[in-house]
Structures are given as C-alpha cells and as structure tokens.
Structure 1
Amino acid sequence: MLPIAFVLFFGGIALFVTTLVTFQQFIPGISSVVMFICGLISFFGFMAIAPNDSRVLLLFGDYKGTARESGFFWVNPFFSKKKLSLRIRNFETGSLVQPEEKNPSTGQVVRKKSRSSGKPSKVNDRDGNPIEISAVVVWKVVNTAEALFEVNDYEDYISVQSEAALRNLASRHPYDSEDHELSLRGSVTEVCVQLQQDIQERLDQAGIEILEARISHLAYAPEIASAMLQRQQAGAVVAARTKIVDGAVGMVELALDQLKNKGIIELDDERRAAMVSNLLVVLCSDRHTQPVVNTGSLYQ
C-alpha cells in the first residue's frame, strides 16, 4: 500500500503542475487534486507497532479490532488508533500515580506519568491487631477492548482493587498463629496464592491477568510492635524451656533406670527424690551450676 500512496500523492502533484503549465482542460486539474488528497489521506493509514504493543482500532466510535503483531501496517485511514501496551508491569500497593502534565500553551509534556513508591497499608487482622501490610502485583493486559471500554482508567482500577483485595485478605487471617492454622506470617505461600486469586476475580471484567501477587511488607503497627515483640519473645522462651524440661526428665529417667538395672546402688524414695531434684536443677538451669559436696549423710 505504501507505493500506491506515494503514486497518488506525487502523481497528483505532477498532474496538477502539468495542467498549469500546459493550460489543459479543467478536468485533469480536478483529477490531480483528487489524487493528491487521496494520497495524503492514505498516509494516515500507516502505523508501526513495536513488540508487545498494540493498536485498538475504532471507526467513528465503533470498535473494529486490535492489531497485536509487531511490524509496519496499513489500515483504513479513518480508523482512530489507540496505543495500548501489552508488556508485563508491576506496582506496589499504596503507591500514588502522578498524572501526566502538559504545557497549556505549547502542548508539550512537562512531566510524564509516574508512580511513587509504595506505602504500607494499615489494617486490623482477624484478631483485631493493627498491622502494616503491602504487596507487589505483577500484571498485564490480555483483552485490550475490555481494558479500554469496561473501566474508565484501567491502571487506576487495578491499583484500587488490589488495595481492597489486600485489606480484605489481611482482615480474614491472623498475623501469627500458635495452632498451626493459616496466618499471614507463617503461611506466606498460601496467603500469596489467595491474594492473587482475590485480585484476579476483581479484574476479570477489565481484561487484566494477574501473573503474581506477593506480600512485600508485613509488620505490626508501631503502637503495638514493642508489646508484640515481647509476646513473641516470651513464647519463644516458653517453647525452649518446655523442650529443655522434656529432655531433662528423659535424662533423669534414663539415669535412674540404669542405676537400678545395673545394681550400682539401691535408692529409697527419699534419696531418689533428692537425686531427681538435683539432676533437674543442673539440667534445667540457664547458667552453670557449682556442685556442693556433702561430706555427711543425707539425713544430717
């Protein structure tokens, strides 16, 4: 189509000049003008599409299709062509979009459209504890018509719906759990899968596919962070002490059984209780013990 456009454009110019020079009839002059206009209009039908780009084609407001293949093409010059990227994009929840700014007088772009860094959202978990949470969402456009015509601004729509899905997810699960149930901190993989599914359900009508949604920040809110840290430390100390006591009881039981089975010494109930007490003190103490040698009998 490109050679035809050049022929019409430059042929119309040549025919018009020839008509003026030779003073021919009026009809060739009209034909040259028509050829020139047709050639000029045909140039508006050419478009170049880069890889992972697309053009949504409209004819007087009627959707006619989408060109997705990269290359140089010609379409109906009266088609309006809207550019839409098919590249994979990502953002962090809580980030703000800065709109594009143009100079009113010249129309030049003063500041391009950009997105600020994400800020964690503050929300209460299932137990009512205030937490801070944010997520990184990876997405791409799969249906250009739905992305342009079903929602007003699909990028803003993705941001708002992802934030809403993240808040809803955080309110359904506890931050941490001691009963091995699903929690935000202890079940990261399962929680991320749920988050991806929740966001996808909200964006199906906008022609968007969510490739990945992963929590990027998770912490207690500053007002309760210190108290929750002490709680976690206390839980860790209790768990460690429980394990130490279980091991110490097993060692004491083993020692008593071996003394009895090998007939090394016969212990009555009082001596056995004293031995158990001493061994448990030594094994369960959190610091080094110093033995005291009893030079008399147990009853003195």
Structure 2
Amino acid sequence: MELPVDRPNRSFPRLIQNEATTEIPLHLLFRDEPGPSRPDHDPSPAALGPPVVGSGRGTGERPRFRRRVPAPARPAPEAEPGLAERPARVLPGAVGVLAGVCGAAGCVLTTWWAGVLPPLAARALPLPAGAGAGLGLPQWAAYAGAGALGLLGFGGLTRGRAGRAWVLGLFGRYRGTVRRTGLLWINPFVPRRGVDVRLRHWRSGPMPSADADGIALRVAVLVVWRVRDTARAVLGVDDHEAYLRACVEAALARVTVRGAGGARGGAEAAGEALTRLVAREAEPVGLEVFSVRPARVEYAPEVAGAMHRRGVAALDARDRAGALTSVVDSVEDTVTRLTMRGLVDLDDGERKVLVRDLTVAFCAGRRETIP
C-alpha cells in the first residue's frame, strides 16, 4: 500500500494568527546576571533603578536596570555660608588721642576768638588779647566742628586685651574682628561685641546616660574648648555656649559610658568618642573642642541602691572564692608533705578524715584573722 506523500507547496492553516518570528542575538543568551545567592542582589525594579534599555517586543531581550549608587554622606552644614572671621580696619590709639586734642584745642581757640575766655584761663594760656567778635554763626560752627572732632577722637579710644576680641558690625553686616592689643581707635558708631577667645574649660552637671547594659547613669563631663572663628560663634548661632552644651548632651546619648566601677580603658575610649563627636558638631559654628572627658560617673538615684548591693555581693563572692582556693591549696600541700615524708600512712578513709579536719581548722583560723 502506497502512503500518501505531502506536497511541498501544501499550506496548513495557522493556529496563531498574529505570529511573528525574529532572530535572537547570540550574546544575549550568555549575559552575566547577578545570581540570587549574592547578598547585595535585589531583583526589585525599585532597587535597581530606571531601565537602561527598555524591553523590546519579540526581541527576547530583558530590560536592564541601572543599579542605584548610595549618595555620599552630607557634611555638617555651616552656620552661615560665606561667613568667616576677617580682621577689621582699626587705627592706632595715637590717632584718636591726636584728634581729641585737636578738637579740645579748637574749642579753646573758638572761645578766645569769641572773646568769652575767662580771665584766669586767658592769663594761664599764652594767647594774645581776645578779638571780642562775640558768639555768632561762625563761632557756633567752629564750636560744632571742634567738638565733633574731639568727641570722635576720644569716643573711639578702646583698649585691646590679650584673650579678648571685638566683633564689629554695621547695619546688620559683619565688618570684621579686632584681636589686636594695646590702645586702639575704633569707629564709635560701629556696634561691637566682646568675645572671650582664651582656652576655656567647662564642667557640666550630671547628665543622663546609660552603660552597655542599659543601666541609667549620671555623667559629669569636662570640656576643654575655645572660640576659633569669632564671626561664626557670635553671628552664626544665638548662644554658642548653649549650643556646645546641647552638643555634649547629644553625644552622651550616642556614646556608651562605662558604669561607676568600669575600667580606665573604657573611660578613655568613651572620652575619645565624645571628643570626636562634639568637635565635629561644633566646628561649623567656629568652636574648637580639644577634649571631652567623663569627670564623674555614677548610677542614677533610682538604681544606685540596687547597684551598690550588687557590687557588695560580687565583692563578697570574690573574696569567698579566693579564701576557699587558699584553704584548698593549703590542705593539699599539708597532706602531700605528710605523705611524702612518711610521717603518716593513710588509707582512703583516713585521708578523707584528715582533709576534713584540716579544712575546718584552716577555715576557722582564717575567720579569726579577718576582722
């Protein structure tokens, strides 16, 4: 029987009407993709970011996503952008003294010119007889000019001291800082604020904190600091001392402090961590922090009694363990020496009785020696 052979040009009906065939690039089949075993692999599109290549219909290519890169840590904000200390323009004090003397001399000469100089002053001063012009408009103008010069000269005199600085401002603008010492002349119409720039220390009161076990503590810290940038310290914050106290309190909440009976190494590590945190927070406002050290650490009043009893019990247990070890060593040494020298020949029962008697005797003698 001859089987029917399909003709080459015979056409079959399509099962899928909208069928499309495309070529798949070979390199797309062997792309390296992160496996699910990697701990940093997150297959969610939100974690991978926006797609680089969108999915193409019929191409067989999956969308590729750009992995999000974490943004770098932002530095601490400055008190005010562009605000920094700069020297102010001042004059030596001799200039102010000279201007004041000239103003006073001008007032005296105007009085002589008007002819109203007292006779006693006229005889004391080497001046010729007064012109007697009287007090007119020119005389009053001369009085005003000489008086203004004298007031401006003597009114701007100030004394600069070591460890003190003046922050000058005019119409709400920062005009500079004066750190010079000696007699100076500063414009008397410019408002000024004094700042202590010496090395200072501040001992805080008891501040709340906690140890590694979460037990409440009260910590008093000693802070050594100074004002490095007067412009930022005075104009950047309302009160730089209050700001420093707030920084210390915030650092204590983040640093673990050893308890009242902690080791010295733990206190040093806590001090270094506090110094690093407070110095970083105080730098934007012009404060330089050298050290922040716990000066006194004690338990909070609500747990102080319980922690005291716990410490006494631990100390008593340690003493008892040390006393027991000493007694056992003494008994063992005594029994060993008696046996090795042949002074006694004991069986197991007699050895146990001797050990018991020696232990009782040594314990009783140790209790009598301890007050």
Q: Same fold (TM over 0.5)?
A: yes
- What corresponds to 1:99 in structure 2? none
- What corresponds to 1:165 in structure 2? 251
Structure 2: gaps (5+ residues): 1-94, 116-130
- What corresponds to 2:350 in structure 1? 271
Q: CA deviation at 1:32?
A: 5.9
Q: Please give the alpha-carbon distance, in whole angstroms, between the structure 2 residues aligned to 1:246 and 1:13.
A: 100
| Cα 1:222–1:26 shift into 2, 3 Å | closer
- Equivalent runs, 1:40-51 vs 2, <5 Å: 40-51=151-162
- Equivalent runs, 1:37-186 vs 2, <5 Å: 37-93=148-204, 118=205, 120-169=206-255, 172-175=256-259, 183=262
* Cα-to-partner distance string for 1:13-61 (whole Å, 9 max, x where unaligned): 2454355455499778756643442342233332112332221233444
1:134 touches 1:216 (CA, 8 Å); kept in 2?
yes
SS of residue paired to 1:55: strand
* Cα-to-partner distance string for 1:182-225 (whole Å, 9 max, x where unaligned): x4787444433433333322222222233554434432223322
Q: Please give the alpha-carbon distance, in whole angstroms, between the structure 2 residues aligned to 1:18 and 1:288.
A: 107
Larger radius of gyration: 2
* 1:9 matched to 2:103: yes
SS of residue paired to 1:84: strand
SS of residue paired to 1:203: helix
| Cα 1:186–1:243 shift into 2, 3 Å | farther
Q: Please give the alpha-carbon distance, in whole angstroms, between the structure 1 residues aligned to 2:270 and 2:361.
A: 44
Q: Please give the alpha-carbon distance, in whole angstroms, between the structure 2 residues aligned to 1:241 and 1:218.
A: 28
Q: CA deviation at 1:87?
A: 3.6
* Cα-to-partner distance string for 1:93-122 (whole Å, 9 max, x where unaligned): 2xxxxxxxxxxxxxxxxxxxxxxxx3x234
* Cα-to-partner distance string for 1:272-291 (whole Å, 9 max, x where unaligned): 222223333333456349xx
- What corresponds to 1:210 in structure 2? 289
Q: Please give the alpha-carbon distance, in whole angstroms, between the structure 2 residues aligned to 1:223 and 1:36.
A: 70
Q: Please give the alpha-carbon distance, in whole angstroms, between the structure 2 residues aligned to 1:128 and 1:86.
A: 39
Equivalent residue letter for 2:367: R
Structure 1: gaps (5+ residues): 94-117, 178-182, 290-300
Structure having the larger proportion of residues in strand:
1
- Alignment length (residue pairs): 257
Q: Please give the alpha-carbon distance, in whole angstroms, between the structure 1 residues aligned to 2:309 and 2:143.
A: 88
Q: Please give the alpha-carbon distance, in whole angstroms, between the structure 2 residues aligned to 1:224 and 1:4.
A: 70
- Equivalent runs, 1:174-253 vs 2, <5 Å: 174-175=258-259, 183=262, 187-253=266-332
Q: CA deviation at 1:146?
A: 1.9
Q: Please give the alpha-carbon distance, in whole angstroms, between the structure 1 residues aligned to 2:179 and 2:165.
A: 5
Identity %: 29
